[in-house]
A and B are shown apart, each in its own frame.
Chain A
Amino acid sequence: MDLFHNLIFGFEVAFSWQNLLYCLIGVSVGTLIGVLPGIGPLATIAMLLPITFNVAPVGALIMLAGIYYGAQYGGSTTAILVNLPGETSAVVTCIDGYQMARRGRAGPALAIAAIGSFAAGTFGTLLIAIAGPSLADLALNFGAPEYFSLMLMGLVAAAVLAQGDIVKSISMVVMGLLLGIVGTDVNTGVQRFSFGITELSDGIGFIVVAVGVFAIGEIVANLGDPEKRAVFTEKVKNLMPTMEDMKASIGPITRGTLLGSFFGVLPGTGPAIASFSSYMVEKKLAKDPSRFGKGAIEGVAGPESANNADAQCKFIPMLALGLPASGVMALMLGALTIQGIQPGPEVMTTRPELFWGLVASMWIGNALLVVLNLPMIGLWVKLLRVPYRLLFPAIMAFSAIGIYSVNNSSFEIYLTAIFGVIGFIWIRLGCSPAPMLLGFVLGPMMEEHLRRAMLMSKGNPSVFFTRPISLAFLIATLGILIVMIAPAVRRRRVEIAG
């Protein structure tokens, strides 16, 4: 019972009072940003990253993870009560959740969302514990060609499954790869694209890019399109779902969890894909599909479970392979690197407390979230009334302090300002910045693996096709591309966008 022993070890780590506190802070902050529209988990993690420098790696990771999955819970609260997705993955929850609230069933909707998320979180956590170590074992045999092909697959999946135009997303991945190689070339020591600026010789900090594009760029966009928020003012009562609600939700929760886990492990899938697929499945399976859109509880239970399972399972490739499957995971990877830990399959054996502590904390965090979300719902609803004009200067302040404290460098503040403008332009031109961030993080690694693979094979590119694991990744990449470019899927994508 290795798994059993490891889990006990993990709970010992997670149950230290410091780590419990970090977990609580993480999920509270996460719920907060999930509730508040206009700040995503990516921007929050980026601006709070510096705070974690003084914290031990395990605590830092526990806290950041808590922010991330906490935001998934918080997002459902606003979706149900205000018809406003505080977070992209909650878009689908708006459809039936808000209708339930308008019919005076906000309580059961919130409760089912929390129960579904908890069930999905528990399953996801267990899956990480089971699949993570075996995947890491497999990855220990990976050489440069395997890593290169794997990253290629991740980037293609990220581009293809992100919302919006596929070709534009791929262009943005390339843009990210290019931005990622600014700085000193590891192999030759040559300065690339640094324009003689000393601060650029270490490359562009990924926090600078993330905060610039995702925090500053978003604020500009939000100020440009003033939003109308109609807060659902009625008091939430009758929190308990009926027996019927529970019975109707078991199936959707189970299917949503499985779907979410599948999409979660797949690198690059955006958070909305899992919840949207689950919604479609439930609508297809329903005896009376016409109820959907009018307050069907299945339309809340399924997608909420799916997006939470997706969020948890995104950790699997990050922890086992050192491969970020989403923008948030790219930031987590960065947090590890800053803590002096080289992410990759070795982490699990060299730093077991990190992996098992995090896994255990996720389960604790999910349980905390149920407690935080249901009885304290009134408090979160009140927070919704904080006007954006008070909120965004605070985001600016935290972002600036966060970036400055990484290297005590004013230059990085200026660079963030520039990326804010660039990020806004990208948003307006329909170029989604999330794939760019993945390319940015993976760029240097990919180049290194490509160079090493070519040295290994004496310049013969066939090395990527003759090694079975590498070939498998390449075939999968091709498969993803073909499936997604196929006309039927393109039509579906339009539906998602619309």
Chain B
Amino acid sequence: MQLEFRSNRDFWAGIMLIVTGATAVIIARDYNFGTSLRMGPGYFPTVLGSALVLFGLYFVAVGLKRNEKIEGNWPLRPLIVLPAALVLFGLLIDRAGFIPALLALIVGSAAAGTEFKLVEVLLLAVGLTAFCVALFIWGLGLPYPLIVGW
């Protein structure tokens, strides 16, 4: 049986756990470890991080033995576009206001899907934004400017 690393599910889960755990342990070296009687701020993170590394090693071994494939694909488009739309929302809400931020988020999110019909998306963006303004700004009184400078 040929080992295929790229799609070996448990192998990569193990690597993920090892990297996370090791990072935690390395950073926690700067914190006082203390003793079992008086545990310092470094005690818990070091123990947990080491545990993660051990679990990670176990899964690397399991991955090499069982060689199970990752189920499903890696949809790069939504994986990049959705977080980007959120970041855009974060940037715009402080600088441009509630309405522009929300419009950008909705149109941006819709662009992550496979079907993008411009007219439909614009209608959705306007309708949803109006609904959110009515519910959150007028209804619940969240104190955000609709459009900065207006």
Chain A residues at the B interface, C-beta cutoff of 8 Å: 51, 54, 167-168, 170-171, 174-175, 177-178, 181, 185, 187-188, 190, 192-193, 216, 219-221, 223-226, 388-390, 392-394, 396-398, 400-401, 404-405, 410-411, 413-414, 416-418, 420-421, 424-425, 428-431, 447, 450-451, 454-455, 458-459, 461
Q: Which residues of B contact A404 (CB under 8 A)?
A: 89-90, 93
Indicate with 1 or 0, residue by residue over B9-45, a CB within 8 angstroms of chain A CB atoms: 1101100110011001001100110011111110011
Q: Which residues of B contact A192 (CB under 8 A)?
A: 28, 31, 41, 45
Task: Out of B52, B73, B128, name the residue touching A393 (CB < 8 Å).
Answer: B128
Q: B106 near A174 (CB under 8 angstroms)?
A: no
Q: A177 near B37 (CB under 8 angstroms)?
A: no
What secondary structure prevails in chain A residues at the interface with B? helix
Q: Which residues of B contact A398 (CB under 8 A)?
A: 132
Q: A414 near B90 (CB under 8 angstroms)?
A: yes
B87 an interface residue at 8 Å Cβ cutoff? yes
A193 to chain B, nearest CB (A): 6
Q: Which residues of B contact A216 (CB under 8 A)?
A: 82-83, 86
Listed A/B pairs (16) with beta-carbon separation below 8 Å: A170-B55, A171-B52, A177-B44, A178-B21, A192-B31, A220-B82, A224-B73, A224-B78, A390-B124, A392-B113, A393-B109, A393-B128, A405-B142, A410-B94, A430-B70, A451-B39
Q: B75 near A167 (CB under 8 angstroms)?
A: no
Q: How far is the CA of A401 from the CA of B137 in the complex (A)?
A: 11
Name the interface residues of B98-125: CB closer than 8 Å to any CB of A: 102, 105-106, 109-110, 112-115, 120-121, 124-125
B64 an interface residue at 8 Å Cβ cutoff? no
Q: B78 near A175 (CB under 8 angstroms)?
A: no
Indicate with 1 or 0, residue by residue over B47-71, a CB within 8 angstroms of chain A CB atoms: 0110110011011000000000011
Q: A393 near B59 (CB under 8 angstroms)?
A: no
**Total cross-chain contacts (CB, 8 A):** 184
Q: A174 near B128 (CB under 8 angstroms)?
A: no
Name the interface residues of B123-150: CB closer than 8 Å to any CB of A: 124-125, 128-129, 132, 136, 140-142
Minimal Cβ-Cβ distance residue in A for B52:
A174
Task: Out of A167, A219, A390, A451, name the residue touching B78 (CB < 8 Å).
Answer: A219
Q: Which residues of B contact A410 (CB under 8 A)?
A: 90-91, 93-94
Task: Out of A170, A223, A429, name the residue touching B9 (CB < 8 Å).
Answer: A429
Q: B49 near A396 (CB under 8 angstroms)?
A: no
Q: B70 near A428 (CB under 8 angstroms)?
A: yes
A452 to chain B, nearest CB (A): 10
Q: B72 near A428 (CB under 8 angstroms)?
A: yes
Task: Out of B49, B52, B102, B115, name the residue touching A397 (CB < 8 Å).
Answer: B102
Per CB-CB distance, the 3 closest pairs between chain A and chain B, nearest first, are A459-B37, A224-B75, A413-B90
Q: A167 near B38 (CB under 8 angstroms)?
A: no
A475 to chain B, nearest CB (A): 22
Q: How far is the CA of A423 from the CA of B32 in the complex (A)?
A: 31
Minimal Cβ-Cβ distance residue in A for B20:
A175
Task: Out of B28, B72, B87, B109, name the residue touching A392 (CB < 8 Å).
Answer: B109
B1 an interface residue at 8 Å Cβ cutoff? no
Q: Which residues of A contact B41 (CB under 8 A)?
A: 185, 187-188, 190, 192
Q: A178 near B27 (CB under 8 angstroms)?
A: no
B88 to chain A, nearest CB (A): 10
Most buried by B among A178, A185, A219, A411: A178
A56 to chain B, nearest CB (A): 14
Q: Which residues of B contact A170 (CB under 8 A)?
A: 55
